[in-house]
Structure 1
Amino acid sequence: MALAGASLISGLNAALLRLGVWAPVVSDRVADLHGPVMVLGFMGTLISLERAQAMRNPLAYLAPALLGLGSLALLAGAPVALGKLLLFDGAVAWVVLALALWVRAPLGLVAAQALSATFAALAAGLWLVADFPAVVTLLAAFLVLTIASERAELAQLTMGPRAVPTLLALASVLALGAALSTVLPAVGDRVFGLGCVLTAAWLLRDDVGRRMIRTSGLRRFNAAALLTGNFWLAVSGVIWLIVGRPTSAGAYDAVIHGVFLGFGMAMIMAHAPIIFPAVLGRPLPYRAAMWGPLALLNLGLVVRIGGGLSQATVVYQVGGTITVLAVLLFAVTVVVAVVRG
């Protein structure tokens, strides 16, 4: 967990550098590594750690350890090739872990989770020989499949018997699009965008968000995070569907941060009070203060994407800074809630 936290803080610093605003640590190298550090270093370490907990085997922790170490190696000034190799090794170890979980429980849900880990490994492997933009769709496939599988698992009672077949059908579309994106980017990204739109529509229709938003407390917060996350996934999917592989800076920024920040981070916020206790070994009670980071995240994304698409640099920077503050504030809120119990 400490490795994931270090990757998060470093990734946020890199985000500020990429925005062209003040950051605590100034480094061109760190700025260039923002994407891999946040997706594989932070999200990959965090999610694989949760899977390792489910396996209950000491060897299972090799995956999050390697992913975290790879991220830190990149940030600490070690040879870039070493950091990339550690991330790749960690992703491969994650695939082995996912397959072991599937052997133990050969279910469609677990198969979808194994597929998501496979795309993380494919992305890390391709990044050894290609620039980061070439692996973005593969990483997005990893994240979307992971979260969709998680939602189908957590809400399968309310989603009904169609949940797993629908998940597997959508996984096929997403996997096809991600695979095609490596050889036919214009076609593959559009297919993947279609998969994102369909996945968002499915989760908006069948997941618990629309029903729980009328409740209160943790359930309402969880619902709000789910609904906003699905909205941003749909936004990214529509852009991919229309333009294919984004060529303008504004469109590229919109799809990247719509998926990884709007969808991914919102889902982490939604799942934190549910999943983190198993990872941390300590309770994470819901706090009303959690609404603040969620609201800031969505406000920042609206401002950031609007500024990026309209080429308003200052607006873009303000929006981006707000999203960084939102993620940092949520991390602080979680730490305080855990410490106070």
Structure 2
Amino acid sequence: MRPRRALHPAASARLARPLLLALVALSLLGGVAGGLLRAGLPLSDALWLSHAGLEHAALMSGGFLGTVIAIERAVALRHRAAFIGPFMSGLAGLCWLLGYGAAAAGLAALAALAFVAVNLVVVRRQPAAHTALLLLGALAWLAGNALFAAGIAADAVLRCWFAFLVLTIAAERLEMTRLMRRRPGVEASLYLVLAALLLGAALSALLYGAALAMLALWLLLFDMARRTVFAQGLSRYMAVCLLGGYGWLALAGLAWAATALGFHAARDTALHALGLGFVVSMMMGHAPVILPAVARIKLQFGPAFYLPLALLHLSLLLRLGGGFVNDSLRAWGAGLNAGALALFALTLIGAAFAWRRRHGATGARKLP
């Protein structure tokens, strides 16, 4: 018998990409469905859905966003071993949905450990302030996943998971604005705020909330979005996403501090103004730039991108404002939050088809 030939690296990459995409999609769909269930919307009594409701935060922060961020970093590193981490976090999402919570938590911790290793390589290759912040974000994810796997300090787990996302976004904004001229001490003040955020993640919810609010103020004052909002096209759209997200970040910080002081009705605002209002706004703003680089899909930008963004903000106002008055308004708002994510996914698909219609298959082959 002839020995089997090993898969060519390009062929294995073509097989790996759809699998990773499927794992990301499963975590996103499960996380959204679990969030709707927790918000009180009547869904089916399927067993996987009860698992999704129980592990909603883990699915969204680790199975979905953690995997997406790890894929982005692996693509930038251009080494196949860098994809081990996102595969493990993607598999963790699948295990959470199937009810294997202990296995999922272990996989998530290993994924974060692999992600830290990737970021160490990135820092060694490109020593800079933003890569150091990316490494700190990876360490925050590892700390949160380790605590989660150990089954202790639930509030600290959430603070660590969000610190991972916030530090990653802050690092990306610092990288994109590194050529801006700033007054002496401005960048140092950012590092002080982020140090307070990490200290708050470990020790104090009150300090954590104050640091989030201070970070929002810093971004509103010094991020280049204040200037690019007056531009045209994609630059203006990204700026609108960013500035709106910074507003939600400020509200999340205030709500987190209020929750720490005993106003527990603000907890939903603290979590979802940060997770949806800030993080998803950043995701919507950066997706037209990052998706072509990571997934090799070109997008035709157009005014339609503003529709899911508007729906996201309006549905959050309904959920977080109306939710104080009426639980049904909170549930409706949560449903429309999910609708905004679905509409954004459809917008991306439509933008990809629009680009292909405009440029044809020849243009698609020019992708790196």
**Corresponding position: 1:325 with 2:345:** no
For the residues of structure 2 that align with 1:57 and 1:43, how far apart are their CA atoms? 21
Q: Is 1:5 paired with 2:19?
A: no
Q: Is 1:95 the counterpart of 2:120 in the alignment?
A: no
Is 1:63 aligned with 2:85?
Answer: yes
Identify if the C-alpha distance between structure 1 residues 58 and 139 changes in structure 2 by more than 3 Å, giving closer, same or farther.
Answer: same
- Equivalent residue for 1:261, pick from 276, 287, 294: 276
Aligned to 1:239: 255
Gaps of 5+ in 2: 1-19, 356-368
In 1: Cα distance, 2:268 partner to 2:175 partner: 31
Q: Deviations over 1:137-173 (max 9, x none)?
A: 1111111111111111112223647665343222211
Structure 1 residue 116: Cα displacement: 0.5
Shift of 1:247: 6.0
| Aligned alpha-carbon RMSD (Å) | 1.8
Identity of aligned residues (%): 35
Candidates 103, 120, 137, aligned match of 1:116: 137
Q: How many pairs are equivalent?
A: 331
- Indicate yes or no: 2:218 matched with 1:218: no
TM-score, with length taken from structure 2 = 0.85
**Closer, same or farther: CA 247–37 of 1 in aligned 2, 3 Å:** farther
For residues 235 and 291 of structure 1, do their structure 2 counterparts lie closer, same or farther at Cα, with a shift above 3 Å needed?
same
For 2:78 and 2:341, the matched residues in 1 are separated by: 30
Corresponding residue for residue 309 of structure 1: 324
Give how far 1:298 is off. Answer: 0.5
Contact 2:299 2:352 in 1 (8 A): yes
Q: Which amino acid aligns with 1:16?
A: L
Q: Does the C-alpha gap of structure 1 residues 274 and 160 become closer, same or farther in structure 2, counting only changes over 3 Å?
A: farther
Q: Which residue of 198, 220, 244 corresponds with 2:214?
A: 198
- The amino acid across from 1:63 in the alignment is G
Match of 2:125 in 1: 104
| CA distance, structure 2, for counterparts of residue 134 and residue 171 of structure 1 | 16
Does the 8 Å CA contact 1:159/1:207 hold for their aligned counterparts? no
Bigger radius of gyration among the two: 2
Q: 2:15 — aligned with what?
A: none
Higher relative contact order (CA 8 A, sep 6+): 1
For residue 185 of structure 1, what is the aligned residue in structure 2? none
**Alpha-carbon distance in structure 2 between the residues aligned to 1:114 and 1:18:** 33
Q: Distance in 1 between matches of 2:283 and 2:44?
A: 25
Q: 2:57 aligns with which of 35, 53, 76?
A: 35
In the alignment, the residues of structure 1 paired with residue 64 and residue 181 of structure 2 have an alpha-carbon distance, to the nearest angstrom, of: 29
Give the distance between the partners of 1:62 and 1:106, measured in 2 at CA: 23
Greater shift in the superposed pair: 81-90 or 8-17: 8-17
1:19 — aligned with what? 39
Question: What's the offset of the Cα at 1:211?
Answer: 1.6
Map of 1:338 onto structure 2: 352
Partners in 1 of 2:105 and 2:353 — Cα distance?
A: 34
Partner Cα separation in structure 2 for residue 245 and residue 33 of structure 1: 26
Give the direction of change, closer, same or farther, for the CA distance of 1:179–1:264 in structure 2 (3 Å limit): same
Distance across 2 between alignment mates of 1:154 and 1:49? 19
Following superposition, the deviation at residue 240 of structure 1 comes to 2.1
Opposite residue 176 of structure 1, the aligned amino acid is L
| Structure 1: segments with no counterpart, 5+ residues | 181-187
Q: What SS class does the counterpart of residue 158 from structure 1 fall into?
A: coil
* Regions of 4+ moved over 6 Å: none
Residue in 1 aligned with 2:301? 286
Contact 2:315 2:337 in 1 (8 A): yes
**TM-score normalised to structure 1 length:** 0.92
